[in-house]
Structure 1
Amino acid sequence: MKRSKYVQLSLAASVAMAISGCGPTEKTYPLQKKYNFQSVQQCVDEKLPVDVCSDAFMNAMAEHRRIAPVYDNQADCDADFVADWCQQDSTGKFIPKLGGFELTAKGEVTQSEVDAAAAQLPASEATTGGSGFSGGSLLTGLLIGNMLSNNRNSYYSEPVYRYRDDRGGFGSSTLAQRVEKGSTFTKSNQARYGSYTDTVRSANKSISVASSTSRGGFGSKASARSGWGGSSSSFGG
Structure 2
Amino acid sequence: MKRSRHIDLNRMRKAAGRSFFMRPLALGVAAALAGCAQKEEVKVVSSIEDCVSNTSLDEQQCEAAYQKALAEAERTGPKYPGRAQCETEFDSCQRTGSGVWMPLMTGFMIGSMLNDRDYHSGYYNPVYRYSRPHSSYYNRIMTADGTVIGRYGKGSYSVDRSAMKPKPTVTRTVSRGGFGSVASAKSSWGGGRSGGWGG
TM-score by length of 2: 0.48
Which structure exhibits the higher relative contact order, with contacts defined as CA atoms closer than 8 Å and separated by 6 or more residues?
Answer: 1
Query: Which structure carries more helix by proportion?
Result: 1
